[in-house]
Structure formats: C-alpha cells, structure tokens
Structure 1
Amino acid sequence: MAGIDIRHDHDLSMEQARQAVQQVADSLAQRFGVDCDWQGDTLRFNRPGVDGRIALAPRQVHVTASLGFVLSAMRGPIEAEIRRVLAERF
C-alpha cells in the first residue's frame, strides 16, 4: 500500500482546527462516500482503498493515509489536493 504522510502547521485554536477538519470530512463523505469518526483529537476516515487519519495538535495538523492498489497510482494528485485543501483551510 502506498502511503501519504503530511504535516501542516497552523495558527488556529484547537476548536477552530477541529471545525475546519470537520468541514473537510463532511465534504469527503458527500463526494466520495468516506466514513469518518472522531477519536479524541483524531478524525479517522476510510472507504474501500483508503484508510487514514487527521490528527490535530495545538499548532499542527498531521494527515496520514494508506492507499490501496488502485488509488496508489494516483498518490501524487491525491497528495497535491490534500496540501491545497490544508493551505486553504489552515
């Protein structure tokens, strides 16, 4: 499985960061049928071919994901989109 591991610094409060991540999760669920749930300050998401998490820290967001065979071929564009959304939201 191909992996994604992105760390992105931010200046938001934890509550603001959580709201931003929840908005991203809502969009993922609507667009791609991704299941999401919070476990403490970590949002876990999955669907066939993807298993990942978005962990919140006071000054950083950490996104990790394992991509299945089909999506691993698209790792570059997926990672670029994640970085774009992080820059936009944080």
Structure 2
Amino acid sequence: MADINIAQAHHLAPEAARAAAQQVADKLAEQFDLECVWDGDVLRFERSGVSGSLSLLPEEARLHIELGFLFGAFASQIEAKVADKMRRVFTGA
C-alpha cells in the first residue's frame, strides 16, 4: 500500500477553492472510476484499491490518497500528475 500526500497553497475564496477541488476530483474520478462525496469542506473519494480525501483549508488544499497494491506500483506517476493538476487549478498556473 502506498500513500500520497500533497499540500497546495492557494488564495482562493471558499467557493472558488471548492470549484478547484471539484476539478481535481472530477479528473481523479474519470481516471480511476471513483465515487466522490462532499462532507463539509472535505471531498472523500473511494473505489476498490483507491481511497482518500481532499480537504479545503482557508489557504491550503490537502490531498491524501491511499493506493492499494495494484495502484501502488504507479504511485510516483499518479502523484506527479495529481500535484500538477492541483497546482494548475489552485494557482491558475
């Protein structure tokens, strides 16, 4: 099992941060066929072999992904792609 933890700073209003988080979640859901559900300011996602959450804080978004055995082999590639997506949606870069 592999864990991915990404913290991305942002200066977005709460509504904009939520929209950015939803973009990240939509991409993850598309790639990994995940079920995503908001629980307050935390977006939780899950499927067999992948689970995690994206937590919105006033100036930071924190993503935690737990990868099962099969996906664990691709952890570094997944982390790089997700970190890039988070950077782009939360900073506009």
* TM surpasses 0.5: yes
SS of the equivalent of 2:3 reads strand
The aligned residue for residue 41 of structure 1 is 41
**Alignment partner, residue 17 of structure 2:** 17
TM-score normalised per structure 2? 0.90
Counterpart CA distance in 2 for 1:75 and 1:32 is: 13
Instruction: Tell me the TM-score normalised to structure 1 length.
Output: 0.93
Shift of 1:26: 2.4
What residue number does 2:61 align with?
61
2:75 counterpart residue number? 75
Q: What residue ranges of structure 1 are gaps of 5+ in the alignment?
A: none
Moved more, 51-60 or 27-36: 27-36
Count the aligned residue pairs: 90
RMSD, aligned CA: 1.1
Moved over 3 A (4+): none
Extract unaligned runs of 5+ from structure 2: none
Partner of 1:84: 84
Report the equivalent of 2:32.
32
